[in-house]
Each structure stands twice: as structure tokens, then as C-alpha cells.
Structure 1
Amino acid sequence: GVLVITLLNGYTEKMKRSKFLIILISLIIFWSNIGTVCAQEQTLPSGISASELKETINQYVEDNKKTTAGMAYAVFNGEQEIASGYYGYADKENNIEVDKDTVFEWGSASKLMVWVSVMQLVEQGKISLEADIKEYLPSDVFKNLNYDADITMIHLMNHSAGFQEDYTDLFVKDVDAYSNLEEAILEHQPEQIFEPGTMVAYSNWSTALAAYVVEKVSGMDYVEYVHANIFEPLGMEHSAIAMDLSDNEWVAEKRKELMSYDIAGNKLEDVFYYISLYPVGMCTSTLEDFETFAKGLMDENTVLFSNSDTWKEMFTPTDYYCGTEIGRNYHGMWMIPLGVQTIGHRGNTAGCSSYLLMNLESGIGTVVMTNQANESVYNIEMMELIYGEYTDEKYEIDKGNPQGIYKTARNFKVGPLKLLNLSYQGDLNEEDVFFVYSVGNPLSKIEYPYVDYYEITPSEMFVELAMLGVFILTFMISLIIMVVRGIREIVKKLKKTPKEKGVPYIYLAFATQLLILTFLTYGYISIMNYELAVTYQWAFAVVGILTVILCLLSVLGCYKTITIKERKKGYKVVNILVIINSFSMVVNIIYWNLFKFWAL
């Protein structure tokens, strides 16, 4: 009897434990389903439900299939992924599809890691956002400053330090062109063309300068710093940031498998470049790692910072649109106006495009990566499916009514590249295009995300266009006169007419002009092909020497025209034309800074 009772008691205990386990498992399944239902029922800022998003994007990709090369995306809320997908090909010609192991270049989205690094050092008390960055850097860093005002880390974050565009040697084919970030920074220092804090002009060099500050303050190479303080804490095992991607051999090998295409889906040949200022655009990773970084950035309790107050500070505006309470920049992150205000950064390289966007109110984050240069179907337009479409009504601001002529602040004012600075914007009264018009202080300007457009007078535009027109005309006249004179000389030889005195001067002046044109053409073609500056700087130096020669020849022409009396009237007319032509070219070369090879 005792045995039976004992057995019955054991059986009863087992039954109790079984019932408990069944109830526990049921509760887990129940709450998991509740969580899934909640996620599916969440409405995105665009108005689309979370459960509909993946199918909506699938259809969107199908609608744009003809121009799509490869694309990967992920949309998430906190740690929960709402939708993700891989589409198209990493290599269309060899039918290699985009998948979880495909790596893409982040482009300028890499800059976000610079600003995270800066804020980590701010948290540690090693950097002050308001201090003059000269305190952290060697004295030879700044050779082209034109204002006495301090340059702060806030200026670098807001892209308002005043530097002109830096294009030279940004993309290079030779991996050994620069041995480290410091060398690349010091080799090409752009001119400071605006007073700090007065004009926003997107600047790769400014951000690279911030990364250089990180190196100097932390005492670590930037690559090592990012691995130790961003990649490793977040578990980003499939990411590389070094100029040659040598910090992750797997990524370097996978990058070789990726082909690049234009926005129409046509293959781009040989468009992998090393970025000398690598912190501003060299990061390469899988979509999963890009998403991991974005999630870490959005998490208030992120492992990236020791204190949540640092995270809160990072998502506080450092710049506002004039006369509004709308943040323009958040410690290096841009406010991107869509149906709701998003914060993030876009990226482009010669062969890839990317986007990282966050909306803190809804908690929705998005990452997109493509192997198409300057891609906008997914990196810009698809974002409206998630965050909604921008309209003026949603922002309720007085944008102003800009009248007149405006020029982008992201330009060249000093050096041979000044000649490329001939783009203008007229009156702007467009609806549903985000901008804010600021009057005066010191220039009237139109404020957009990433850049300002400042007002210029009609006379300034006229002078620039007139100078360009005269420049082109001088070359045309030189060619025409050379051809006419050449034909005339051939006819004289056939007729055995005696040679005229003084004619060699005219030929010498024209030959000098044509040599100038030849060297300028070589220089600009080299620039457009991303050749190293050392391979073409000499061409602009030669232009400077030839300009001096042309100036002397013009003086000689004046002397001959005045002193030689017995020449025919036609000779004097040609001589005067050559003199005017030569002086016009000299003036243009000086005006466009075509001799300032050192400013490249």
C-alpha cells in the first residue's frame, strides 16, 4: 500500500510539473504572438502598416526592375526588424545575386562613425565641442586660413568651418599614394573662403579633420580606434574602414566580387577607388552590419556611450534653420525632411550609394545599400514609402520668397578649379521643396540640407560669364587667324613672295596660346579622371610660365605696332588683334587662377 501511495504521489507531482510547463509554454507562445501582432499592426510614418511594408517594397522593386542593379534594405524598430530584403545582382554579367554576404560601400554615411568617435571623446572629457580645434592639432595643419575666428568641432559637425570644396586626390587608384590620414590631410589643404559659422558648405576635408583630431586626442590610428570603440562593441564582424580595406580581409575579398552600375543599370568599368580621406567615405560592409550600426546609433542605452546623456546630446541640434525651431544638423547628422523629420546621412562613391535614416518619434530606422552610383530610386524615393512624402503643410514654416541669383557655397573660389564654378540658381518659389530663405547676415542665402546657396549680384554673374565667353573667343580667334595666316604663307611660298618682317612674333604668340590650351586640357582631363595631383600640377605651373611669356609677347607686339612705320595697314590690324587676344587670355588666366597649381 505504501508503494502504491508513493507511486501515486510521484505521478501526481509529475502531472503538476507537466501542467506547469504546458501553461508556461502557452504563455510564452501567447505573448510572442501578441508581440508579433503588435509589430504587424504598427503604422509607419507614411501611413503604411508594418505588415504591408515588405510587399509594398517588393512591388516597388518590381516596378523599377529595368533600372535596378543590386539593392539591400532593412527597416527596424528598436531591435525588432520590420522588413528587409535583397534584390538584383552584385554582378549582373556573372549572375551573382545580392545576398547577406554581399558588401557595399557606405560612402559618406561613413562620416557618422567620425561623429560617434568625437562624441565618445567628448564624453571622456578629452574634446570640447566649443574649443578651437587648433588646440588639438599640429601648427602646420592650417596653411590657408583667411579669418582669425576660431574653428570649433561644432563648425566641423555643421560643415560651416568655411573651407572651399576639396576635390584633389580624394579618389585615387594607387593604394600607396598616401601612407596615412595625416599625410592626406596635410598634402591638400583647401582655402578658407567663408568666415566660420556663416555658411554651410558640405565638406569632406572638414570631416577628415575631425577624424584627425580623434587620432591626435586618443593616441590611436583612426582604423584602430573605430574597431576598438565601434565595430567590436557592436559586433560588426563584416566591416572595414581602412583605405585599402586591409583591416578586414574577408570584406576586401568580397568587395572584389561587387560590380557597379549607373542609374540606368549599365555597367561602370573600373570604378573602385581608394579614398585618401578614408574616414569620410571608405567604410564597406554587409547590410547586416550597416543595420547593426544604425540600431546601435538609435538605442538610447547603446554600448557606444557610457552615459545615455551623451546619446541625448548627440541627438540635440547643433544648427537650426534660420528663424525656425527646426534642427538642421545634429552633431554631424543631417535632418532630412520627409513626411516626418528624419535624421541621418546619405552616401555616394564612384560605384555605390547608401542611406541611413532614423525617426526618433516613431522609433523607425532604415538602411539602404545599392551598387549604383548616385542612385535615387531606393536611396531617396523609396524612403517616402516608410516616412511619407514631404509637403510644406507638414512643416508649417515661412520659407521666405528668395528672388535674385544664387550660387552654391560648396564651390571653388581659389585655384584652377574655380573655372568649374559656373552654376547659378534663379528665383525659387517651388512648393513642396524644403528650404529656408535667410536675409543678410552677412549674405542673403537659401538654406537646404547639406548646403547654403548665397546671393550674388547680376553684375557678378555677368562678369563671370563674360570672362568665360572672352576666354573661349580668344582661343577661337587664335585658331582662325593661325589657319588664315598658314594658308596665306603657303600661297606666298607658291608665289615665291618675300617673307614679311615681324611675322614670327605673331606665330609665336599664337603658338603660346595653343600651348596654354593644350596644357589646360591635359590638366582638366587628368582631374576628371581622378589622376594623382602630382601627375598634372606641373601642367598648371607651365600655364603660369607661358602666361608670363604671353604677357611679354603682348608688350613686344605693342612696341612693334608703335615703332614699325613702314608696315602695311593690314599687318597693324592683325598685330593689334593679336595683342588684344593675348592680353585677354592673360587676364582670364589670372582671373580664373589657372596658374595657381599650389591651390590644387
Structure 2
Amino acid sequence: MNKKISIILIIALSLFFTETIYANELTTPSGISISDVERFVDDYAHEYIGETTAGASIVILKDNKVVLSKGYGYGDIENQIKINPNTAVFEWGSVSKLFVWVSVMQLVEQGKIDLDEDINRYLPKGFLTKLTYDDPITMLDLMNHTAGFEENIFDTGYANEYRVKSLEEGLKIAEPNQVYRPGKVVAYSNYSTSLAAYIVQLITEQDFNEYVDEHIFQKLGILDSTSYLSLGRNEQITKNKVNGYELIEEGDFKLSTPYYMSMYPSGEINGTAPDLAKFAMALMPQSENENVLFEDENTLVTMLSQSYAINENVPGIAHGFWEYDGKFKGLTHGGNTVSFSSNFHIVPEENFAVIILTNQASESDITYGLTKELVGEKEIDEVKLADLPNSQITEGTYLTTRRMKSGFLNLYYYLLPLTVKSLNANEIEVSLVGMKANYVQTYPNVYKMTKGSTMFIPTNVLYFSIEDGEVKQISTSISDYLPLDKNIFWLTISAVLFIYCLVYFIASPFVLIVISILNRRRKKPSIKIRKWVYLLNIVGTAFIVNIILLVIRMLSNSDRGYFEVFPQIVANYVLTILSVVFIIFILVNWKKATLMKLQRAIYLLSIVTIVILIFLLITWQFYS
């Protein structure tokens, strides 16, 4: 009898402890068992690696421990060299910005930076020369990307290291215009972050990369990464760097170009996923009452608290970190270069983090898709449709605030607008560059993503600011969108007119050659006006060739210095002057020449066409 009782007790105790262990089993914020997370990630990655993603290094943290560190795919596709997660070096891209904000908060803690102070207090007198508004720019504005700077592609990144300048010189060369009033619009800005890093450099009298190495890397034991990769130095890191790729089509990858920056604090860190995991661990609750990065643990609390939000029901910005509306509040930042993509995501209240580095340009299936699966999505509460505005008010075409408004590249953004379409009273479809996502209204004018392309995951919540029955701004934690500022009719007319000029001046040289041959055969006497018309048409063709070459060069590699395209801008001026001269000579000889009606019509058409082309070039800023 005692034996039977003992057996029953053992079984009961076994069941009790099993249920207790199961109940307390660690999970990801989305609910995936930590014991099963490797299989889940393997299955997920298998779907994309080699198809839409070249390779990846993934690290997952839970309760200050690494629960997964694994490489997927190839760091060198041509030679079939697999990614070693412990040594593979990737470009972190804009994840590098988080190290700027930690540096700033370290100086805030020391009383050397006031987040609400005008940054001109810290900069050399007259350093910023293109400010439009008298409103001061604060360090918080730089952190929140609300300083008002336009995007500037030129002189941000280079394919060759020898073009890199010092941080100070790089900031002076690439200074953008201030096109928004400070504090009013979120316009993601590499310049803002690098300017903040320069302020750290001025205050500490230490090169920023050296400051990061001493005050962050060394404290965290980061050994296989560098904040400023330079050939001839960091040989081991350079040796361990994997190749970066561009996706041509599914399963087909093209070797991409290197990426070097003068404004390196915004995106130049090269390193391993385990090193980035050490940084993530330092930002989450510690097992002991000691913080590695700050003297006062309240500084970390402040840094991870919200510093900007347009509405209480939408995620905002936490001193440079993007807030993410997941199952639990996330703090995140993505990164992209011409060859690499990354995502850094922490969930402090769950003591969880996921770090994903890929050697694939513009990758989102794993960087954002897998992260979403691991951190989970907050359930959408049932809402009373009667209390919500009809979604039709959101319909329209919008442009990102992160765009160039000065120079010929402003045209590029009109070709890639964000469009919003109402599906029903409470649901919208958002489209961008051919990708789509559906959003449902959860609060008045707040829309949460329900399905669609992974590229929309970082902006999974949209807020529409409505005034006088019209959308004035779409807000996200990364960059806002503003209504299209040019009439659709005018944009269509511009496109039609340019296509007409393109066809006319491509065809005109061949037509003129044929006419010239026929005139010679018929032995028709040459007249002066004909020569000037021919020259005018040649100038028109030269305009078209110059513009096409400019477009091809920018599409093939947008990481250029302005000096590289400056000769083509000058060429537009020269061709314009020649056009005016030839038109004057044509008009002077107009009355002297004996012309048939058809000749007059053709000559007049050439004048009108080149005037239209020059007008379009002026309108779209091809002279700056």
C-alpha cells in the first residue's frame, strides 16, 4: 500500500512541477516559446534566404541572455562562404545613429548639454548658413528629426573612400536648406544626427569615433566593430566584412558597392550582430543595479521615454529611438546602406531584444517581417464606427517630408508618391512604389496596419491631421507625409510636354539630315536662317542627351558628390545661352529669308519646343 501511495505522490509531484515549468516557460513577446524559437526562426528564414535575401546574422536576447545567435545564407555568394554569426561584419546603416543619441545623453547627464537649448550655443558662430526660420533648433529637435532640414542626397555617401572628408567638412559641404519650421514636421535627417555628433565632438574635444570607442564600445566589450571603418586600419574587421548585394530578381543577386561617409555618425558603423546585442543588453533592465552606459539609471529611463508624439494614441519618438506599437511597447531603429539592411528592436518591459543584420540592400522580409513575428502585434480593440470619421477624408496623394525640395532631384519624389484609397468607412489602402498595405481605423484618424508589404511595418500606425475637412499631414514615428503640393493636372501636362520635347529632339537630327540631303540633290540654295535652325535643333538634342545621362548616372549610383554632376548643370546653362543666341539669329534673319509656309511652321515649332524644354528645366530646377 505504501508503495502505491509513493508512486501516486511521485506522479502528482511530477505533474505539478511540469505544469509549473510550462507555466513559467520563457517566451518571446509574441508568445513563441524560447525553447522553440530557433526552429521558428529557421523555418521563417528558410523561406527568404537565397530568394529575396542574400544572408543574415540574427541574435535574440531574453532576460539578459543570448537565446539565439545564428547565421543564415552566404557572406560571399560567388564562393559559397556561409555567414559566421560570431565574426561576420555588416554595415549597420542608420542603427549607428543610436550611438549618437547615447553619447548625447551621457553629456546631458554630465550637465554639458541641455536638450532644450538652441544648438547654436554649441556650434561655431555662423556654422549653419541655410536656416530659414528664426525659431531655435534644439538638441531635442535633432533627436526627433524635427529641425526642418530637407533631404540631401549629394555628399552623404560615397562609393570610394578617398572622397571622404572630416566630419566638420562633410557637414559644411552637405548642409541642406531648412524647409520646415522647427518642431512642426518629422523629416528623417542624416544631417541632424551628424550635426549632433559634431556637437559631442566639440564639447568633448575628442573625435566622435574616438569618443564612441572609449565611452561605449570599450565599456560594453565591443571588440569586432568600428564606428569609422577605414582601409589601412581595422584590418581584421575589414577582412571579416561580408559582401553586400542588391536583389535583381528572386534568387538572383548582384554584388553591390562599398559605402563610405563623411557624416559617418549617421550610418558608418561596421560590426557583428553579437556586438550590437551587447549594446541592446545595456539598454534593458539589468540583473544588477549597475548601468554600464550611464552613471544614473534615470538617464536611461529618460532616454527611452517618449520625447515627441503628434497624438496620444500613436507611437512617437524616444530621444532618437522609434517607438513601435507592438504587443508591448518596442523601441527600434532600422538601417539601410546601398548594400546592407538592419533592424534593432528592444522591448524593455519584456527584457527582450532582436538584432537582425543582412547583407542585402533594401531588405525587409527578414529585418522587419521576422521582427514583427517575434515581438507580436497589439490586438485591435473593437471600436464604434459611429464615433469615427469616414475614411474617405484620408484619400489623396502625399509626398514624404524626407525629400529634396531644392535642385533637380526634387522631381524624383513626385514620381513616387504615397497614395491613400478608402476601402470602406473604416479601412484604407496605402500604396508606395508598387507596394500596398491595408490599415484599419482604431481611434479617430488613427489607422493601424492589418496586412500588406513588410516595408510598411516600421510605419504600422498612421495619424491623419485634419483641418477644415482636409488632411494637412500624415504622421509616423519615422517621417511625415504632406499633401501633394503641385496640381495633378500640371504634373500630367509637364510629363506630356517633356515626352513631346524628348521625341522631337531625338527625331529632329535625323529629319534635318534627310532634308539637307534632299536640298543638295535638288540643288536648292542655302539660306542663313536654315543654319541657325539646324544649330538650334542640335542644342535641343544636346539638352535631351545631357538630361538622360544625368538620370542614368543618378539611377546607377546615387551616392555621389555634387561636384560629379556639377558639369552637367553647367552644361544646361551653356546650352541655354546657345539657344537664346540661335533664336536671336533666327528672328533677325526671319524677314530676310524667303520661306514657304511649311518651313515657317517647322522653324517656329523648333523655337517653341526648345522654349518649352527650357521652361520645364527651370520649373524642375535642372539649373541647380
For the aligned pair, the TM-score class normalised by the smaller chain equals: 0.7 to 0.9
Does the 8 A contact of 2:315 with 2:476 survive in 1? no
Does the 8 A contact of 1:243 with 1:278 survive in 2? no
Q: Name the SS for the 1:475 alignment partner.
A: helix
The residue aligned with 2:28 is 44
Q: 1:537 aligns with which of 558, 566, 572?
A: 566
Q: Is residue 222 of structure 2 the alignment partner of residue 236 of structure 1?
A: yes
TM-score (norm 1): 0.87
Mind listing any 5+ residue stretches in structure 2 that lack a counterpart?
Answer: 1-16, 422-427, 429-437, 440-447, 450-460
1:52-80 Cα shifts (integer Å, max 9, x gaps): 21111122223334424322212112322
Q: 2:551 aligns with which of 500, 521, 524?
A: 524
Does the 8 A contact of 1:522 with 1:536 survive in 2? no
The residue aligned with 1:14 is none
Judged with a 3 Å threshold, the aligned counterparts in structure 2 of structure 1 residues 587 and 65 are, in CA distance, closer, same or farther, namely closer
Q: Which aligned pairs between 1:370-449 and structure 2 lie closer than 5 A?
A: 370-389=358-377, 392-393=380-381, 401-422=393-414, 423-428=416-421, 429=428, 430-431=438-439, 432-433=448-449, 434-440=461-467, 444-449=472-477
The residue aligned with 2:496 is 469
Following superposition, the deviation at residue 498 of structure 1 comes to: 1.5
Does the 8 A contact of 1:327 with 1:335 survive in 2? yes
Following superposition, the deviation at residue 464 of structure 1 comes to: 2.9
Q: Which amino acid is 2:148 matched to?
A: G
Judged with a 3 Å threshold, the aligned counterparts in structure 2 of structure 1 residues 97 and 404 are, in CA distance, closer, same or farther, namely closer
Rounded to whole Å, the distance in 1 between the matches of 2:279 and 2:349 is 19
Q: Is residue 489 of structure 2 the alignment partner of residue 451 of structure 1?
A: no
- Looking at CA atoms only, which structure, 1 or 2, has the larger radius of gyration? 1
Rounded to whole Å, the distance in 2 between the matches of 1:193 and 1:443 is 20
Q: Which aligned pairs between 1:51-70 and structure 2 lie closer than 5 A?
A: 51-67=35-51, 68-70=53-55
Following superposition, the deviation at residue 589 of structure 1 comes to: 1.4
Q: Name the SS for the 2:595 alignment partner.
A: coil
Following superposition, the deviation at residue 511 of structure 1 comes to: 1.5
The residue aligned with 1:317 is 306
Which deviates further from its counterpart, 520-529 or 579-588? 520-529
Size of the aligned set, in residue pairs, is 559
Q: Which aligned pairs between 1:24-43 and structure 2 lie closer than 5 A?
A: 41-43=25-27
Following superposition, the deviation at residue 469 of structure 1 comes to: 2.6
Rounded to whole Å, the distance in 2 between the matches of 1:143 and 1:243 is 30
Judged with a 3 Å threshold, the aligned counterparts in structure 2 of structure 1 residues 329 and 94 are, in CA distance, closer, same or farther, namely same
Q: Which amino acid is 2:606 matched to?
A: V
Q: Which aligned pairs between 1:124-139 and structure 2 lie closer than 5 A?
A: 124-139=110-125
Which deviates further from its counterpart, 448-457 or 411-420? 448-457
Following superposition, the deviation at residue 82 of structure 1 comes to: 2.8
Does the 8 A contact of 2:132 with 2:179 survive in 1? yes
The residue aligned with 1:266 is 252
* TM-align CA RMSD: 2.7
1:116-168 Cα shifts (integer Å, max 9, x gaps): 11111111111111111122112343222222221111111111211111111
Does the 8 A contact of 2:408 with 2:620 survive in 1? yes
Following superposition, the deviation at residue 366 of structure 1 comes to: 0.9
Q: Which amino acid is 1:360 matched to?
A: P
Q: Which amino acid is 2:245 matched to?
A: S
Q: Name the SS for the 2:549 alignment partner.
A: helix
The residue aligned with 2:5 is none
1:62-104 Cα shifts (integer Å, max 9, x gaps): 3334424322212112322233322222113223221111111
Does the 8 A contact of 1:339 with 1:394 survive in 2? no
Q: 1:294 aligns with which of 264, 280, 284?
A: 280
Does the 8 A contact of 1:169 with 1:533 survive in 2? yes
Following superposition, the deviation at residue 440 of structure 1 comes to: 4.2
Does the 8 A contact of 2:505 with 2:544 survive in 1? no
Judged with a 3 Å threshold, the aligned counterparts in structure 2 of structure 1 residues 226 and 247 are, in CA distance, closer, same or farther, namely farther
Q: Name the SS for the 2:148 alignment partner.
A: coil
Q: Name the SS for the 2:133 alignment partner.
A: coil
Q: 1:169 aligns with which of 155, 170, 173?
A: 155
Work out the percentage of aligned pairs sharing the same amino acid: 29
Does the 8 A contact of 2:48 with 2:366 survive in 1? no
The residue aligned with 2:577 is 548
The residue aligned with 2:600 is 572
Does the 8 A contact of 2:261 with 2:268 survive in 1? yes
Rounded to whole Å, the distance in 1 between the matches of 2:259 and 2:100 is 20
Q: Which amino acid is 1:355 matched to?
A: N
Following superposition, the deviation at residue 247 of structure 1 comes to: 5.8
Judged with a 3 Å threshold, the aligned counterparts in structure 2 of structure 1 residues 173 and 481 are, in CA distance, closer, same or farther, namely closer
Q: Is residue 286 of structure 2 the alignment partner of residue 306 of structure 1?
A: no
The residue aligned with 2:457 is none
The residue aligned with 2:458 is none
Rounded to whole Å, the distance in 1 between the matches of 2:127 and 2:413 is 26
Q: 1:159 aligns with which of 128, 135, 145?
A: 145
Rounded to whole Å, the distance in 1 between the matches of 2:368 and 2:60 is 14
Q: 1:88 aligns with which of 57, 73, 77?
A: 73
Judged with a 3 Å threshold, the aligned counterparts in structure 2 of structure 1 residues 44 and 266 are, in CA distance, closer, same or farther, namely same
Mind listing any 5+ residue stretches in structure 1 that lack a counterpart?
Answer: 1-32
Rounded to whole Å, the distance in 2 between the matches of 1:558 and 1:440 is 53
Judged with a 3 Å threshold, the aligned counterparts in structure 2 of structure 1 residues 330 and 37 are, in CA distance, closer, same or farther, namely same
Rounded to whole Å, the distance in 2 between the matches of 1:193 and 1:98 is 43
